[in-house]
Amino acid sequence: MKLENKKIVLTGASGGIGSEIAIKLAKAGADVALLDRDKDALESLAKRISVQGGNVLPIATDLLNSEAREHAIDKALRSFGQIDVLINAAGLMSYRPFVEEDPALLERIIQLNTIVPMLLIHRLLPGMQAQGQGKIVNIGSTFGSIAFAWFSAYSASKFALRGFSESLRRETSGTGVSVTYIAPRAVKTRLNTEAVYEMAQATGMHMDTPEWVAGKVIQSIEKDKKDVYLGFPESLFVRINAVFPRLVDLALRKQNQTMAVFAKGEKA
């Protein structure tokens, strides 16, 4: 898909990955509706892109609020006339023992990471099908294929998003609308807590830059890829886990013990 003049809705636009995606989309000549809850960060990003000649529409909204979410989509449609691409990049993560999770946070993680993308797609898909073309891009995670201990809620939300993406891709086959699921490994963004960074250093976890990930997202859209797993050897482990999950249990046992120290806040 050529991005020039495409009308795009991007959620999580002021986040680490989202902001880099927005910048690259604008440079490619796309018109981008930037959706995010952080109004100040959103306006700052929009000014940065506009100065460089990009065309963006910042829309501050709480995606967990159904009325606000609907208003945001209506505004994007009024401004652009149609939506060619929806990129679901907004997300929440939690790193702690499941029994210690705040129930309210559990609900927000599932809502934002899984339900909101589904609802946005449900809203925009009919228009894409009516115009005979469109693309859905769901930003998942390696954690959506390999369920890591201490990230239970996050892993569950991304597993669900991956399954939904696969089902929807099969359902929209032949309609002109395609679905791309992109699974980065760990990324250096403010979504991570200090404990996550300390754990990553202790376990030797690979972490990519948002700019690199955003580049792969753009590449995946342009090449109309279906499933993209970023980073090696994580992309290989995804395949192994799909066939031999109990073997991965054994391989992760020692790492899980190290991760537990930081998840429980027990480090000296």
Q: Is the peptide bond before 184 cis (omega within 30 degrees of 0)?
A: no
What separation in angstroms does the CA of 126 have from each of 63, 71, 122? 20, 17, 7
Contact partners, residue 260, CB within 8 Å, separation at least 6: 97, 149, 150, 266
Which residues are known catalytic residues?
154
Residue keyed to tokens 């981008």: 32
What separation in angstroms does the CA of 125 have from each of 8, 100, 165? 13, 38, 13
Q: What's the distance, CA 251 to chain centroid?
A: 27
Nearest partner of 189 among 221, 205, 211, judged by Cα = 211
